[in-house]
Every structure is written in structure tokens, then in C-alpha cells.
Amino acid sequence: MSSLTSPADHNQMFHGFSLAAISLVHLVVFALPALAVLIAPGTGAAEEELLIFAVVSEAPKDKTHVAVKASINDVASDTRLIASDSILSNPVWKKLEICHALRADGAKVPEGYRVTTVRVIDASMLPMTLQSFAGDCLIKKAIDIAPLVD
């Protein structure tokens, strides 16, 4: 590398790299990935993967849409979990019952949340926003089922 001869030459160089090279690196590192996210088909804020904790609130009749009380970012609401094709064959999903506590990953869709992974968890592992609902649900289920045991 040649030595710098004037302040103008010094302004064009930064630790041996030209400003054009630095600008190119910034473009590749910062701008192009952001642009790829904007133009990639099927991506966007509406399909952001979310962590969903849920309690099944009604006996599932149709396994493709399950009514739940869900907590997303510690905000509880009544919604529906919609099974993706891979979830429909999941043994956990096939055996869903009222009051089951779930941990799922999914994306917001107009009908509810499209689920991509699901696990049954103990109700004590639910966020506080759902624990009282899960407890009440289990007590009600026990009272409704207890007379049928005899």
C-alpha cells in the first residue's frame, strides 16, 4: 500500500480500506438482508413465529380448529389454534381434551394462530395469566366427571 500524500487522500482511506469498499460491506451486511426479508414470499410481521401458551377451553370437535384460552406475551385471550398439516398427525394433537395445557409455536392468522409445533405441559408451567383459568377448568372437569365414575 502506498503512503498517503495529502489530507484528501487520507479522507478517502480508512485503515487501508477505501470508503467505497466500506460502503459495499455495509450494503451486504445491513441492507441486503433487510431487503430479502421485505421481498421474500410468504414472510412478514403477520407470520412471525410466536410462543403460545394455551389451555383447551372447549372439548375439541374438529381437530383442525381448537378453542383455547391463550397467553401470548403475558396477555390472555380467547382464540383458536389452527393445526398445520404436520400437526394433524401429531399424537399430542390427536388426543387433545378440555383443560389440556399446551406450549406451542405458531403464527397469527385471521382465524387465530396457525400452530407449527405443540407440546403438552403441566399446568404449573403455564404463565400466571393462565394458571387460574387452568385450575378452574380442572376443578370443573373433575366435578363433571366424578359422578360418572360410580
Interval 75-118: pLDDT, tens: 999 999 999 999 999 888 999 999 999 999 999 999 999 999 99
Measure the CA–CA gap between 111 and 3, rounded to whole angstroms: 66
Fold exhibited by the domain 46-149: OB fold (Dihydrolipoamide Acetyltransferase, E2P) (2.40.50)
Bridge partner residues of 103 (DSSP): 53, 119
Measure the CA–CA gap between 62 and 80, rounded to whole angstroms: 11
Tell me if 16 sits within 8 A of 93, measured CB to CB: no
pTM: 0.66
Tell me if 68 sits within 8 A of 104, measured CB to CB: no
Domain ranges of the chain: 7-39, 46-149
Measure the CA–CA gap between 106 and 117, rounded to whole angstroms: 7
